[in-house]
Structure 1
Amino acid sequence: MRRRPGACAAGATRARCRPVDRRAVRSGARYTAGVSAAAYVVTLLGPDRPGLVERVSAVALEHGANWEASRLVRLGGRFAGVLLVRLPPERAGDLRAALAGIGDLRVAVDEAGADPDAPGDAAHLEVVGHDRPGIVRAISRVLAAREVNVEELETACASAPMTGEPLFRMTAALRLPPNVSVDDLRAALEALAHDLMVDIAIE
């Protein structure tokens, strides 16, 4: 007779037949039943090389960490990463030591803070123009003056298709406070566009 998933075979002892921990099945992490887990932010910096992400993920799994979110990037020949993981608090120190043991990696493991839903509307900002010093400073000053939170920011420089001149691109995920509208912020940023010689779009 076919057993339903998770059911014990006839005569199985309690020690040999336990409910499946579905969190462990999804993540592959070695969870222990009844052990609470906490969220940690892990930051990594070191020389970039092939296989580094695989090694980091293997170490995380070996220490029972569930990899929930991450940002990994190569910048100037260096590997930089920020991870959000969840694991039992008593394993956090061992995880940091093991990651540092990978070689030439600077590692920090900090307990994550509360992350409640932020009030206000979300907005997406795009900036494109000829590269010059001070673009990020000028735009971030407008945002800070209106208490707009920058939740994610990405910038890059590339050669313009026709002229080959350096072209600056910036994208940002913003969270506006309740007293600031997208139209108000757009007007303030567009006032900078001429001076900075950039195109600015926000929606």
Structure 2
Amino acid sequence: MNHLVISFISPDKPGLVDKLSHTIKQYQGNWQTSSLHHLSGFFAGIIEVAVDEGQTDALKNALNNLPNFNVTIEVATALSPKSPASLVLELTANDRPGIIQEISSVIHQQGGNLLKLVSSQESAPHSGQDLFKAKATITINKDALAPLVTQIESLADDLMVDISH
């Protein structure tokens, strides 16, 4: 069994997920994990699909030939080992250029590994100022957690970090 990691972008229109899932099913692929988003008139995502080795090339060709899809596919022949326990950092701050780079740099410097990042920009309820909000799933040695939070919070006076598991 191969695992395909498929990333794509397409101009948004109804039926894109149906088209993708139909193509995957047609080659006996099993849609396992995904993250799909509408972004500024485009639909983009990343999907992990398990597929029999004998169907891998045919599925890759079918996905690459979908009209109006820009697709990148990587093949993994073995599953990744189980990752260490993870935790979620919920981050809120006034938005500004470079905030993702600053946060990811601190996570890296503290020995953490960023597994997933979902971010958004929203208007603050009272001031209307742009707020940065993110959920970052990371793995990190528990001894490094307190210094990590301290360092992230020191990036800006208004940056708040909540931790969940």
Shift of 1:97: 2.2
* Residue 42 (structure 2) pairs with residue 74 (structure 1): no
CA distance in 1, matches of 2:73, 2:130: 37
> What is the match of residue 202 of structure 1?
163
Cα shift readout 1:31-73 (whole Å, capped 9, x = no counterpart):
xxxxxx2211111111111000011101110111011111111
Cα distance in 1, alignment partners of residues 6 and 154 from structure 2: 39
Q: Report the identity percentage.
A: 30
The two structures, once aligned, show a CA RMSD in angstroms of 1.7
* Secondary structure of the corresponding residue to residue 192 of structure 1: coil
Within 5 Å, give how 1:1-150 maps onto structure 2: 37-112=1-76, 114-119=79-84, 121-150=85-114
Q: Report the counterpart of residue 144 of structure 2 in structure 1.
A: 181
**What letter is aligned with 1:157?**
Q
Task: Give the letter for the 2:80 counterpart.
Answer: D
Q: Is the 8 A contact 1:72 1:79 kept in 2?
A: yes
Is 1:167 aligned with 2:155? Answer: no
- Displacement, 1:192? 2.0
Cα deviation for residue 93 of structure 1 reads: 2.1
Letter in 2 for 1:133: P
> Would you say the 8 A contact 1:139–1:189 is kept in 2?
yes
**Where has structure 1 moved over 4 Å in runs of 4 or more?**
none
Indicate the structure whose relative CO is greater, using CA pairs within 8 Å and at least 6 residues apart: 2
Q: Which runs of 5+ in 1 are unaligned?
A: 1-36
Instruction: Give ranges in structure 2 of 5+ residues lacking alignment.
Output: none
Q: Secondary structure at the match of 2:118?
A: strand
Aligned residues: 163
Provide the rounded CA distance (Å) in 1 between the counterparts of 2:116 and 2:155. 21
TM-score (norm 1): 0.74
- Give the aligned residue type for 2:6: V
